[in-house]
Structure 1
């Protein structure tokens, strides 16, 4: 299996879309409908990237993002906030998110954003010598 992605959203249909699309792209996907025991899941699943909604039931994904970025075990994991809420614009400057995607999202944008973080960057040999 490929790199691991943890997706957190309270909409099971969105989680199904993540699973179908990203598994097809070669990623191993774990989905959560609630942030209960999120740190335990992160520690056991060891994701390379987290997809996080802003509104997750009674939880605020922006606060979750900020708290994860303060945790030593999770601070280096890229977090992509995915939401249709206007507060998404604050995710990067105020909460430490690494990227944002607006809902409804385009599948190509989702894949490209994830690939930007998780694909190996190949540097041509002739560039490495410069």
Structure 2
């Protein structure tokens, strides 16, 4: 876990001089948009949706009402919509849940602003 956090912090440190630098990555069932504050991941519901964010695997496991179950690294976490939980040294916030998608912000905790 310590190594993963070091990788994530290095990623943030490398992007910090670039200011508004951002990247977008799409994969099977996911779209990730990252900047120095972290990454926003849009998971498509009904598919095996996974993404690698800041060196940590993130997977949508289930949605039960307004609570989303995610697997972040090796840790499973339940996060209600609009709330934040810690997992694998990251802050995980569920921003939106619809019938088609789940939008999650994953941040290192260094800059928790949206």
TM-score by length of 1: 0.28
Higher helix share: 1
TM-score by length of 2: 0.31
User: Which of 1 and 2 has greater Rg?
Assistant: 1
